[in-house]
Structure 1
Amino acid sequence: MTKLLSYLGLAMRAGKLVTGDEIVHKALRSGDLELVIVAGDASENTKKKFRDKCHTYRVPLLIGLDRFAIGASIGKADRVVVGVSDSGFARMMREQLAIMSEVEYIE
């Protein structure tokens, strides 16, 4: 989990991360995202919304971590939804999922 959080921080500093419900939703619609991450402690409504949207736009979705860990890793207040726009960062994060069991990953 530590590597995944580190990758989130690197992606944020590189300008390859978008945060917030509406901004991530807009980036999904425009085809700019390679991966979406939703906090495991998000509301069921938020999880369902992004499951459906990611399925529609064929973007991998990760549900896990918690809003405080996500926020801390990117230097912001707690965050529920983030989107990764860079394929390299998205690939590195997906590779970490092979060794993590506390997340739900939907391709």
Structure 2
Amino acid sequence: MTNNNNNSYLNMIGLAYRARKISLGEEAIVKDIRQNRAKLILLASDIGPQTKKKLTDKCKSYNVPYEIVDDRETLSQAIGKSQRVAVAILDAGFATKIQSLLG
């Protein structure tokens, strides 16, 4: 499943994280969606069903795009934190770039 596009979107997540343009943790992400700060939500493919429903419902009601990406391990490695199932991208530039890389 790992191709160049995949790696570059993971690199962009890493850059966004280092630029402090990411929020982590379910509560923080929900808050950022509500306050219109989240530009893109990335969900791990192995996210729990309740968390997935909660976040995708929030995204839909606030018109925030979301993408299902790799598993939590891959997502976590991209930002150097363990067990992350969701990240919110808070910068429109990063969000657009990541979406284009995800195709």
Q: Partner of 1:18 in structure 2? A: 23
Work out the CA distance in 1 between the residues paired with 2:8 and 2:81: 18
Work out the CA distance in 1 between the residues paired with 2:16 and 2:67: 16
Aligned positions, number: 98
Q: Partner of 1:104 in structure 2? A: none
Contact between 1:72 and 1:78, CA under 8 Å: does it hold in 2? no
Structure-1-length-normalised TM-score:
0.88
Q: For each residue in 1:17-71, what CA deviation from the matched residue of structure 2 results, as whole angstroms up to 9, or x when unmatched?
A: 0111111011111110100011110111211111110000100001121111111
Alignment equivalent of 1:47, drawn from 31, 52, 55: 52
For the aligned residue pairs, the C-alpha RMSD in angstroms reads: 0.8
In percent, how many aligned pairs have the same letter? 39
Alignment equivalent of 1:34, drawn from 35, 39, 45: 39
How much has 1:97 moved relative to structure 2? 1.8
Structure-2-length-normalised TM-score:
0.91
Q: Partner of 1:3 in structure 2? A: 8
- Tell me, which stretches of 5 or more residues in structure 2 are unaligned? 1-5
Work out the CA distance in 1 between the residues paired with 2:83 and 2:76: 4
Q: Partner of 1:88 in structure 2? A: 93
Work out the CA distance in 2 between the residues paired with 1:44 and 1:3: 27
Compare the two structures and name the one with the higher strand fraction.
Answer: 1
Work out the CA distance in 2 between the residues paired with 1:73 and 1:66: 11
Work out the CA distance in 1 between the residues paired with 2:76 and 2:48: 17
